[in-house]
Each structure stands twice: as C-alpha cells, then as structure tokens.
Structure 1
Amino acid sequence: MENINLNELRNIAYKTACEHGFHDKRLSEEHCLCLVISELMEAVEAERKGRLGKKCKSRFEMDYNRYPALVEEEKRFKCSFEKNVKDTLPDELSDAVIRLLDLAGFRGISLESASNDINSEYMDDIACMYSKLSFTEAIYSIFTKPIVDYQYLSTIVNEMIFSIFALAKHLGIDLLWHIEQKQRYNELRPKLNGKRY
C-alpha cells in the first residue's frame, strides 16, 4: 500500500464540505459522529444487499475510459461513478472516512497517528483481527469507539479512521482509491449534496 497522508485528505474533505455549505453553522461532535454512524449503517445495508463492490473499480475504469473523445470528462466520471461505485460497500466505507476527515478538519485534529498506523505492520494485525468477526460485528466495533469523553475526540477520530482502513484491508478494498473518487464526485454535487444537512 502506498503511503497515505490523511492530513492532506482531511484538508480536501473539509474544503469541499465548506464549499458545499456543510459548515455554514457550527455543528456538535454528536451531530458529526451521528452522520459517521449513518454512513457505517449504509455500509451494513450495502453488505446485506450484496453490493460488495468487488469489481466496481475495474468496471468504473472501463466505463470511464470508453469514449474519451466523445463525452466530456466530467460527465464520463459522474456517469461511471454513479453506475459502478455509488452505494456499494466500499463507497459507504469511504463516506464514513470522509465524514471523519471533515470532522478532523473542522476541529483542527491532526491525523498523523492514524496515518502512521495505516502505514505500519500494526495494520496487518488489526485486519487479521477483523477476519475473526462478522461484518456487522466489525462495524459495531468501529462505531462504539465514540462512546467516551469528548475531550479525547482526536484519539477517537484517529482510531475510527484507522479501524475503517483496517477493515477495508481485510475485505480487499482499495479504500484510498474509493476515497479519492468519492471526494472528486462530491466536488460535483450541489450544496449540501442535495440534502438538508
């Protein structure tokens, strides 16, 4: 796995969220973490429906590269993403990480700890641990981390991001690729992604 700099991804996620109106008013930690949990629950639903996204990356690239001279690049990207990636298990996990990256940007949290852990052998140990759990048990272990004192928000955010990356590794998901594609897709979306918040 290539070295991951989560602080760079954090800056992109936070900038996009600001540009799309997600920080027009101050949000509580509970609000932000609830939205992370909702993304993790959408990942559970994707897994239950069999939308595992095992071939979504190759299908996306095939569709995206099909008619480069005939179709505008932005339209090819959006259509290919919506057809092949959107609402799959990897897409929902990337949504959860992007929500955490945005929270880290909003609260000025460094993600150096999670970056270091993702780029270490510790990642293999945690990915192996997830092989002993069902998918729902793994998701539960990730989203129960916030149930502590918020003075440790930095630790919680770093641990949750690392845990999602470890689960993705166990599942054979290139989570960095999915985050990068989803961030690009989010840049093309309307204010608040067409939702109330």
Structure 2
Amino acid sequence: MKTLVLNVIFVLLLVWKYNYSFGANTPMNSPMGTQNMSQDLPKQRFERIMAETLVNQPYTEDFAIGIRTKQNSLYNTEPEDTSAYSDELRELCTKISSIWKDSVEDMEKEYNEKTQQVEKSWREGIWKNKWAKYLEHVHNTIQKKLNDLSNTPHDTEVNIAFMVSYVCYVFAVFIEEVIEDAKRLAKM
C-alpha cells in the first residue's frame, strides 16, 4: 500500500512538473530542415519518416546498470555495489529495454497513423519538442530506478511496469490533444 501511494505521488509530481500545453498559436519551428534530409527520404514509407529523421533520441537507448544519464544531473547516481542482484538486474535491464523500445516504436507508429492528416512540420515539431522530451525524462527516471539498489529487482520491476503503463495511458491523451489542437489551429 505504501509503495502504491508513493508511486501515485511520484506520477502526480511528474505530471505536475512537466505539464505540457499542446496549444500553440503558430507552427513550431523545427531545427530539422530539408537540407539535412536525404534525397530519397520523401519516397520512403510514411511510418519510417520520424524514426529516420530524428537522429538524437536518447530515450531509445538500452538501460544498463551503472549508466549515468547525460541530460539531467538530477538523475545521475553514484556507482554502487551491484553484486547482490547483479544477474537479476542485468536480466531486468534487458527485459525493460525490450519492453521500452517496443512501446516507443508502437507509439511512433500510432502517432504517425493517427496524425496523417496533420501538417507534417507541425506534427514533427510537437513530437520532438513535447513528447520526445517527456519520453527522455521517463527514460532517465527508469534508468535511475534501475540504478537504485535500495529496492529488490522485483520491486524495481513492478515500479517500472507501472511507469511504462502510465506512459502508455498518457500517450493516448497526448494524441487526442494533438489532434484537437491541430483541428483548432487548422493544421489538418
């Protein structure tokens, strides 16, 4: 019960601190220009465009024990002794990495499918400037949880599973907001 309460408080703080507004009066400027794209990119399948054009995606990296996050020093942890659960933690890192990558890939695919009618530059700007930052924050939080040896691997897995399921729920809300804002701003 205590863990559940702490998880709910953590999620509420996460949402409160990173409460994104998806409304905008003007289209977002994307630092990615057409000069950076390969010539054959427009010919490729629509689902692959975002995955190939967004080069730096720290949220797609594998999780590992002892990894320090680069973007936010708040999440950096000191190396600790991992001998007690090292095999279990390595297996957990592999399992969580696989689940996380599959979830992110599914999110990208669903986002592309549901926002096909939305103006491309605006759609990509929203993904890169809003959702990718949220995914990076959650990725850093998961990495921190994996490096926290005060919990057992089972407790860590339960906490991370809750976080991933919550991210999937928030993603559904995010897509609804993007589509609603696109209609309101005449970006469709």
TM-score (norm 2): 0.30
TM-score (norm 1): 0.29
Structure showing greater Rg: 2
